[in-house]
C-alpha cells in the first residue's frame, strides 16, 4: 500500500557530473530524480545500502560515461571557484 505524503519543491546545488549520473540512473530505473534521491536518503538514514549489485554496476558505467571521479571520501570536501553564494 502506498503511503500518502506531501512533497515540496526544493532547489539544491550539486556537482554537475554527479547530477548527470543520478539523472541517468533514475532514467535507467524508470523513476524520477526526486524518487531516487528520496530512496537514497531514506536508506542512508537507516544505515542500509540503497543499491543492488546490478545497480552499482550501472552506476559504475554511468560514472565512466560522465567522467565522474568523485567518491565518498570527497564528500564535504568540495568547493567552487569564486565567492560563495
Residue 82 clears pLDDT 90, i.e. is over it: no
% of the chain exceeding 70 in pLDDT: 98
Q: What distances in angstroms separate CA 73 from CA 1, 51, 67, one per listed residue?
A: 37, 19, 17
What are the pLDDT digits (tens) for 11-42?
999 999 999 999 999 999 999 999 999 999 99
Average pLDDT, the chain: 95
Closest CA to 51 of 28, 68, 67, 73: 28
> Could you give the residue ranges of the DSSP H alpha helices within 30-85?
33-45, 53-65
Rounded Cα gap, residues 20 and 15, in angstroms = 9
Rounded Cα gap, residues 48 and 55, in angstroms = 15
What local confidence, expressed as pLDDT, does residue 81 receive?
Answer: 87
Instruction: Give the global pTM.
Output: 0.88
Amino acid at each position: 500500500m502506498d503511503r500518502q505524503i506531501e512533497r515540496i519543491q526544493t532547489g539544491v546545488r550539486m556537482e554537475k557530473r554527479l547530477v548527470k549520473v543520478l539523472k541517468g540512473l533514475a532514467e535507467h530505473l524508470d523513476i524520477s530524480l526526486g524518487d531516487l534521491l528520496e530512496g537514497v536518503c531514506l536508506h542512508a538514514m537507516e544505515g542500509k545500502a540503497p543499491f543492488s549489485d546490478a545497480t552499482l554496476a550501472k552506476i559504475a558505467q554511468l560514472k565512466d560515461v560522465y567522467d565522474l571521479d568523485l567518491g565518498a571520501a570527497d564528500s564535504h570536501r568540495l568547493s567552487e571557484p569564486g565567492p560563495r553564494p
